[in-house]
């Protein structure tokens, strides 16, 4: 996992785990009796946890027996004394366990609620994933601070975003990204047309290989034979099972046991030298998991399929990705997968962003409008803000090339 970002549950060693946060950083300032530990990225960490940064800072003070200072206007959060970053990270894990994770399902997508019963007040973790309400240990000193400074209730609406933060929009710490709220694709006419076009493309590539290759034998067009009908019924049952487990694109099943994580691990465990035959096997696995229409599947594919030679590998997997990328939402997910691929696994390849984008653009997987809109809007949906900025900054030569190409076309007209 790349430096700078970690899983919220650090006991989960899964790079496809959705819930991530920036790695907590510290800076020692002053000396003598005035020495203090500043936490420069406390706001970003707290936002990923959907908790106010004052809660996490105060928790450190309670655990360390140190005074804390908050300057929310200038985004400065301080713990008095010199404290090692690793020690504070360990304490952050304790905070997450006590005040973020659902006690029932261990999902971080929870909201803190204060319930009053007469003179008694209790703090409850309301889980948006499993629906359970579990209490926190009211003996901890932080609970007094939380009761006096209750979390801000964020209004719910159509634009609720379950993107990059642990539980964006709940618990008083979320920061929904309004640019990422288009509804998930449900198939339909456009998807059917894409499938027809891809079927022709696949058959053409199969003919180029050989009529008896695995790809040629695998006919993805409609087959009405009894055996084919049975296979489609089986696929439908798998899809229904995934839906029953909460397999929507809303992040409700985005944990270590989700179909997306299962797909990522399966791809990494089944390498194949031939991209075409591997593509068939991967698509069958996607159908088995019932996520062939889900845009997040594209994000996982980009993370799991490619290596440091991504520029050379794009053509080999273009057929598979073309079958999966059927809408603008899918294209955004592909770009999100590129961000995660670079930010989590290959930060050294960020300078190659123009070549990577060119590869996807030339295979008609990305539209010019989608790339341009993506390149001018930093988002924390897939990676932390700094990584998002770096990737988009690196893409500027390609964006400039697109703009100049448009200008040349206009002049020709």
pLDDT at 182: 39
Please write the tens of the pLDDT for every residue from 65-77: 999 999 988 899 9
pTM of the predicted protein model: 0.49
- Give the lowest-confidence range in 150-159, 188-197, 250-259, 326-335: 188-197
22 vs 196, more confident: 22
| pLDDT tens by residue, 380-412 | 888 888 889 999 999 999 999 988 876 655 555
Which of these, 56, 69, 48, 47, lies nearest to 98 by C-alpha position? Answer: 56
Q: What is the mean pLDDT of the chain?
A: 78
CATH class of the domain defined by 191-412: mainly alpha
Q: Does 178 have pLDDT greater than 70? A: no
Comparing 17-31, 62-76, 163-177, 223-237, the range with the smallest average pLDDT is: 163-177
Q: What local confidence, expressed as pLDDT, does residue 2 receive?
A: 43
298's tokens: 């594209």
| Integer Cα distance of 413 and 119 in angstroms | 76
Residues of the chain with CATH 3.30.30.170: 5-178
> Is the backbone of residue 64 left (phi > 0), alpha (psi -120 to 50) or beta?
alpha
pLDDT, position 175 = 41
Q: With cut-offs at 50, 70 and 90, classify the pLDDT of residue 248.
A: very low
Question: Does the 5-178 domain belong in CATH 2.30.110.10?
Answer: no
DSSP string, 221-278: S---SHHHHHHHHHHHHHHHHHHHTT-STTSTT-STTSHHHHHHHHHHHS--S-HHHH
Mean pLDDT for 47-59 is 94
Does 41 have pLDDT greater than 60?
Answer: yes
Q: 379 in the Ramachandran plot: left (φ > 0), alpha (ψ -120 to 50) or beta?
A: beta
- Compute φ and ψ for 134, nearest 5 degrees: -125, 140
Classify each residue of 177-206 as buried b or exposed e, where b means 16 or more C-beta atoms within 10 Å of its C-beta.
beebeeeebeeeeebeebeeebeeebeebb
Chain segment 142-167, per-residue pLDDT in tens: 999 999 999 876 554 444 433 344 43
Please state, for a pLDDT cut of 90, what percent of the chain lies above it: 46
Please count the other Cβ atoms lying within 10 Å of the Cβ belonging to residue 98: 16
Under 8 Å between Cβ of 277 and 215? yes
Average pLDDT over residues 25-29: 93
Q: Which of 107, 156, 379 is nearest to 254 (CA)?
A: 107
Residues of the chain with CATH 1.25.40.180: 191-412
């Amino acid at each position: 996992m790349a430096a700078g970002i970690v899983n919220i549950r650090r006991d989960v060693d899964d790079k496809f785990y959705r819930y991530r946060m920036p790695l907590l950083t510290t800076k020692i300032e002053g000396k003598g009796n005035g020495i203090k530990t500043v936490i420069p990225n406390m706001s970003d960490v707290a936002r990923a946890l959907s908790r106010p940064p004052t809660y996490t800072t105060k928790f450190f003070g309670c655990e360390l027996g140190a005074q804390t200072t908050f300057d929310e206007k200038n985004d400065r959060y301080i713990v008095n004394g010199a404290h090692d970053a690793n020690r504070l990270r360990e304490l952050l894990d304790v905070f997450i366990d006590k005040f973020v994770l659902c006690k029932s399902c261990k999902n971080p997508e929870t909201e803190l609620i204060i319930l009053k019963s007469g003179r008694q007040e209790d703090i409850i973790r309301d889980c948006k994933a499993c629906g359970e309400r579990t209490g926190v240990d009211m003996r901890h000193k932080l609970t007094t601070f939380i009761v006096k400074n209750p979390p801000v209730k964020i209004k719910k609406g159509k634009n609720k975003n379950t993107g990059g933060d642990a539980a964006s929009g709940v618990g008083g710490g979320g920061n929904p990204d309004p640019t990422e709220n288009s509804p998930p694709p449900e198939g339909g006419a456009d998807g059917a047309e894409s499938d027809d076009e891809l079927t022709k493309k696949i058959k053409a590539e199969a003919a180029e290989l050989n009529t008896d290759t695995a790809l040629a034998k695998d006919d993805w067009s409609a087959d009405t034979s009894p055996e084919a009908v049975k296979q489609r019924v089986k696929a439908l049952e798998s899809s229904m099972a995934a839906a029953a487990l909460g397999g929507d694109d809303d992040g409700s099943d985005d944990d270590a046991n989700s179909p997306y994580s299962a797909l990522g691990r399966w791809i990494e465990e089944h390498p194949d030298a031939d991209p075409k035959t591997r593509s068939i096997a991967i698509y069958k696995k996607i159908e088995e998991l019932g996520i062939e229409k889900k845009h997040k599947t594209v994000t996982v594919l980009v993370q799991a399929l490619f290596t440091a030679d991504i520029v050379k590998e794009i053509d080999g997997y273009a057929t598979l990705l073309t079958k999966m990328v059927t809408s603008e939402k899918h294209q955004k997910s592909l770009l999100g997968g590129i961000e995660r691929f670079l930010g989590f696994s290959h930060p050294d390849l960020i300078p190659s962003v123009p070549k990577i984008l060119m590869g996807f653009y030339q295979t008609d997987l990305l539209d010019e409008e989608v790339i341009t809109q993506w390149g001018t809007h930093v988002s924390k949906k897939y990676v932390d803000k700094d990584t998002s900025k770096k990737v988009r900054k690196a893409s500027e030569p390609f964006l400039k090339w697109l703009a100049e190409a448009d200008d040349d076309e206009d002049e020709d007209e």
